[in-house]
């Protein structure tokens, strides 16, 4: 098994931004800007890690790994516009540095580039990987639409929210892991197990992201904290707080999420204070652990030697313990 650092190095060497066209400049410069910021490169590494887990040739899966990295960054470009997020990875988002129209068009081009890369995969693999990639792209968009819908309706259940983040966030890492397994010729059962592992880790990852949006250090987190409160996002934390709140706390929460104009710092402070009173951060940590445990159960059931699973287990533990 290759180490995490070795996989990362192999991907970095293969991911050549010089292959991206240069003209029109204001179309492709934002793409390079977005892709050159690095980030965790989690999703392409999941493709390679899973391929290696099942004893496949990671070079065979490399174009697919590049495709999912470009696709993921495309979603971030558009998400930042829809979420009105001015900072990503500690720097200006594309729509803030250029403008909204440029960010939309550059994102559309990244979507096309992602398909260009995935179709460079070995032809025999295309009937297996293209349907999964396309289904995942559609589901991510469905999740984003639900996310926006939930901003405008009052009755969102916790189950609704979990399904929304499954689509918006969890299906992509799950698909990355399954794509790697398919390149390695894993059994149908093992491919489904690694997909389930990815979904559970993805749910835990998004819940941790929601938690860090409120309780993270903005410098470490890389984007403005409290943004979910300011934009009236009905996250799990908010929905759980409504469920646990007494009448007065519930009235305050609904008041601050009413869409009226509030001082930003006051709104964040008041809502966070209610979360603290209700110990919402502790409840979120408990649910994150529950999904992590389900992921470990999936991993344990996969039919490869336990020693080969250590890098995947360590990676999941890293995500569980992250503070950014």
pLDDT of residue 201: 96
What is the Cα–Cα distance from 185 to 309, expressed in whole angstroms? 17
Phi–psi pair at 87, nearest 5 degrees: -125, 135
| pTM across the whole model | 0.92
Q: Domains of the chain, with CATH numbers?
A: 8-124 (1.10.600.10), 134-324 (1.10.600.10)
d(CA 247, CA 241): 11
Per-residue pLDDT of the chain (324 residues; tens, 9 = 90+): 899 899 999 999 999 998 999 999 999 999 999 999 877 799 999 999 999 999 999 999 999 999 999 999 999 999 999 988 888 887 899 999 999 999 999 999 999 999 999 999 999 999 999 999 999 999 999 999 998 899 888 889 999 999 999 999 999 999 999 999 999 999 999 999 999 999 999 999 999 999 999 987 655 555 567 889 988 889 999 999 999 999 999 999 999 998 778 999 999 999 999 999 999 999 999 999 999 999 999 999 999 999 999 999 998 988 877 765
């Amino acid at each position: 098994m290759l180490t995490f650092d070795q996989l990362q190095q192999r991907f970095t060497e293969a991911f050549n931004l010089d292959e991206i066209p240069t003209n029109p400049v204001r179309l492709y410069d934002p793409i390079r800007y977005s892709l050159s910021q690095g980030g965790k490169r989690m999703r392409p590494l999941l493709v390679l890690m899973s391929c290696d887990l099942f004893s496949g040739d990671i070079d065979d899966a490399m174009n697919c790994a590049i495709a999912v990295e470009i696709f993921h960054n495309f979603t971030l470009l558009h998400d930042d516009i829809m979420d009105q997020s001015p900072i990503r990875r500690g720097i200006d988002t594309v729509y803030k540095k250029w403008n909204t129209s440029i960010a939309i068009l550059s994102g559309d081009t990244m979507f096309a580039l992602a398909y260009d890369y995935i179709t460079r995969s070995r032809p025999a693999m295309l009937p297996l990987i293209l349907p999964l990639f396309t289904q995942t792209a559609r589901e991510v968009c469905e999740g984003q639409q639900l996310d926006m819908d939930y901003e405008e309706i009052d009755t969102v259940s916790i189950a609704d929210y979990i399904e929304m983040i499954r689509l918006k966030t969890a299906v992509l890492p799950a698909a990355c892991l399954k794509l790697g397994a398919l390149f390695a010729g894993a059994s149908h059962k093992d491919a489904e197990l690694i997909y389930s592992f990815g979904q559970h880790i993805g749910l835990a990852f998004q819940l941790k992201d929601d938690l860090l949006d409120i309780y993270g250090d903005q410098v470490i987190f890389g984007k403005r904290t409290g943004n979910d409160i300011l934009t009236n996002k009905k996250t799990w934390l908010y929905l759980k707080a409504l469920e646990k709140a007494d009448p007065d706390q519930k009235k305050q929460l609904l008041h601050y999420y009413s869409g009226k104009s509030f001082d930003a710092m006051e709104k964040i402070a008041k809502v966070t204070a209610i979360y603290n009173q209700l110990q919402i951060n502790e409840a979120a940590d408990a649910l994150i652990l529950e999904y992590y445990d389900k992921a470990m159960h999936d991993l344990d059931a996969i039919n490869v030697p336990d020693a080969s699973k250590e890098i995947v287990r360590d990676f999941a533990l890293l995500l569980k313990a992250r503070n950014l």
